[in-house]
Amino acid sequence: MENKQSDGQKQTGLAGLPTELLIQVFSHLDPQTLEEIGLVCHRWHNLIKDNTVWYRVFVARHPRTAPVFSAAVRTKSWRMELIRRDELLAAWNNGRSTLRTYSLARDLRRPSRILADFRRGRMLAYDATMGGLLTCDISSGRGISHALCSIPAGCTTYSVGRHFMIFGRWDGSVYGSILERKNILCAGLRSMQTVPGRHNSLITASAVCRGDLPKQGLPGAFTGDIQGSIHAWDARTGECLAQIALGGLAHAQPARVAPAAVLPSGDVPPSQNAVVRLDSDGRRYLVALLSSGNVYLIENLFCVRERTERTPRISKIGLFKSPGLSADPSSWVGVQICADYGGQNVVVYNQDRFEVFPFHGESSSVLALAPGQQISLAALECGDHAMVARERSIVGGDPLLMAVVLRSGLVLIVNVRAASFVLQPLARIEPQLLRGWHDAQGAPDPAAAPITAVALTGLVVVVGFRDGAAEMYDTVSGEFCRRVSDGPSRRMRAGAGAGGAGGAGAELPVSTILLDDQSAAGLLELGPVIQFFEFGDCYSRQHHSGHRIRKKSRQREKKAVDDEIKSRVRDYEYQEAQLEREYDMVAQYNGEDTTGAEQLQMALALSASLQSSEQGENTSPGGDVTPDEMRQIERIERTEERQRREEAQVAQIAQQQEEAQARQRQEEEDLRLAIRLSLLDTGAPPAQGSSDDNRINN
């Protein structure tokens, strides 16, 4: 009776387990167990498929996550987000660390721009000082392809993209070059000075569209000059596709200014209409910032594929003002723009002001800074998050995070898509290395910021320091995760300093950080020294990759053997057909397999030949021989000589046939042995009682 009651209580407890307790239990289970636990009962299956339950599980496992956060995967399912987020966080925080360091000093003095493609495992680096272009393996630096792509003389601005590079000069001329196409470097400048598309003044800004190289007939790059004129260029043909005059929007026609070519190179008058910054997604929008502070959005540039006239739609979306900015374009050197095309915002900032302008709206958002605080640098999330249209229904609300580094070393994480007049930081990070930095420096130098590079994903923030070290922090909580790198070794510093002027003690600050938002990997640039880091079980992946490579290699070898056997069989069949044709010719010459009419003609010809020879023998040498008889004798002699040659040819053909038959028998024997060996390699059972098997076994 007690057993029955206990069994009943046990069954009642399993069936009636509270939902709150189930949520706590589910929060500690792995994905595979959660898949199997849905088979226990119908109620548990419904709970596992319920998105609300998974939201509670997510909150229980990540209690410090804010309601608005950047998701690890773009989905509406909290379960998929939880699984993917746990995998990436486990790799970032607890995964095995792999750090590979290599130097590019032999080919590049100091890279000015680095682009990484983690999917392909390739890296593209450009040195603007020496004009070198390089591509290599991102993890090891091997497979280097180097080319020269020097900057033209008098260059005032340039921009580098994944597949294209554009230069602008003081006299208004434009040069471009396709960098990489189908994994092949295509360095080599070409002039883009078409007569209707030439600038009339100094070029002050340039931009290459993001993404892949656009098709012919679509803009792939833009340039802007000191008069406020913007030109759109076809990256494939070098043709000017459109001209936009932002400097004369207040008038019917742009103001007429003397060409810059007639002015001295160092005496260019300042203009409030100068284009100082350009940025484009290559799909729909072009953002332009003028020296007057006006921010313009230009549309309808990419919708026309045929060679028809484009009518761009221009709209002013904001006015950026900050102390120290004037009409002189040189005062805008420290102003940067970062466009969020998915959320339709553009961020404009310098050391004193950080402002977000929406594409379609009246109010802008400003980041409140304490008195005395200055912005050192800022960076948007890595990856293509800024290019994908925002979906508020996905997990986390689909924000776009941006790391803002202050000159004091404090890192602020802000959401540039927040609908607020004043942006409030989601997290504040104070790196641990700042304490040692301030102790070593004594009084902090306002001109030398301790943090020189920053990059972030939706999960982690990597901060690079002036001494070459790098640390990683959690994006949501701001907690310290782990040390990424302690900087290059002394030997690597000496090798890098040998190319410059620093010697063995040359300072190598972290200048660029690139992160892969789909895996726990990244890249640190310290001048010519590159450090590739990866967290997780990368060696296991390499082992599986090596196993797949070996398997493919065996398959290729097997295919090569099969192709060789097929080739030999075709050669054998061709030789058989050739011998058959020779047999037919010899048989026809010998009179074999001939009809009665053919045999009669051959007999008559032979009789005539014998009769002619007998007449020649009966004729005495001293007798009278007429000319006709002499001609007949000569004809008979020629006929006999031809017959003797034909008989010799027949004998030679017969000998060749015997030799060919001997070779044929030997090749057939070799072919049977090769087929037998291939069958034994593939595991097929051999035929019983075959003489070839005995030879192989012997």
Which of the four pLDDT bands, split at 50, 70 and 90, describes residue 251? very low
pLDDT at residue 12 greater than cutoff 50:
no
Which of the four pLDDT bands, split at 50, 70 and 90, describes residue 255? very low
The H or E element containing residue 697 is helix 691-697
Is residue 291 situated within a structural domain? yes
pLDDT at residue 178 greater than cutoff 70:
yes
Given a contact cutoff of 8 angstroms between Cβ atoms, the answer to whether 337 and 283 are in contact is: no
Given a contact cutoff of 8 angstroms between Cβ atoms, the answer to whether 437 and 450 are in contact is: yes
pLDDT at residue 688 greater than cutoff 80:
no
Which of the four pLDDT bands, split at 50, 70 and 90, describes residue 521? very high
Q: Do residues 188 and 265 share a domain?
A: yes
Is residue 240 situated within a structural domain? yes
Q: Do residues 26 and 163 share a domain?
A: no
Q: Do residues 48 and 160 share a domain?
A: no
Q: Do residues 250 and 156 share a domain?
A: yes
Residues in contact with 665: Cβ distance below 8 Å, sequence separation at least 6, in sequence order: none
Q: Do residues 323 and 223 share a domain?
A: yes
Is residue 36 situated within a structural domain? yes
Sign of CA dihedral 598, 604, 610, 616: negative
Burial of 603 (0-12, 13-18, 19+ CB in 10 A): exposed
Percent over 70 (pLDDT), the chain? 77
pLDDT at residue 306 greater than cutoff 70:
no
Is residue 64 situated within a structural domain? yes
pLDDT at residue 264 greater than cutoff 60:
no
Q: Distance between CA 286 and CA 290 in Å, rounded?
A: 13
Is residue 390 situated within a structural domain? no
Please give the residue that has the higher pLDDT: either 306 or 5: 306
Q: First and final CA of the chain: distance in angstroms? A: 79
Q: Do residues 156 and 47 share a domain?
A: no
Question: Domain ends where: 83, 101, 118?
Answer: 83
Q: Do residues 194 and 60 share a domain?
A: no
Q: Do residues 320 and 198 share a domain?
A: yes
Please give the residue that has the higher pLDDT: either 297 or 304: 297
pTM of the shown model: 0.69
Which of the four pLDDT bands, split at 50, 70 and 90, describes residue 617? low
Query: According to the model, what pLDDT value does residue 464 have?
Result: 93
Q: Do residues 158 and 290 share a domain?
A: yes
Question: Domain ends where: 300, 315, 333?
Answer: 333
Average pLDDT rounded to a whole number, residues 533-545: 67
Structure tokens at 376: 């050192």
At 549, give phi and psi (nearest 5°): -65, -45
Is residue 192 situated within a structural domain? yes
Query: According to the model, what pLDDT value does residue 679 have?
Result: 81
- Between the alpha carbon of residue 170 and those of residues 197, 264, 330, 675, the distances in Å are 16, 10, 14, 74
Q: Do residues 278 and 193 share a domain?
A: yes
Number of H helices, E strands in the chain: 12, 35
Q: Distance between CA 125 and CA 634 in Å, rounded?
A: 89
The H or E element containing residue 548 is helix 538-590
Mean pLDDT lowest among 185-199, 397-411, 654-668: 185-199
Structure tokens at 267: 């005496």
Work out how many domains the chain is built from and give that number.
2
Count CA within 13 A, CB hemisphere, residue 13. Answer: 6
Q: Distance between CA 320 and CA 443 in Å, rounded?
A: 33
Q: Do residues 70 and 166 share a domain?
A: no
Q: Do residues 76 and 159 share a domain?
A: no
Is residue 685 situated within a structural domain? no
Question: Domain ends where: 311, 333, 355?
Answer: 333
> Which residues constitute the domain of residue 24?
18-83
Is residue 58 situated within a structural domain? yes
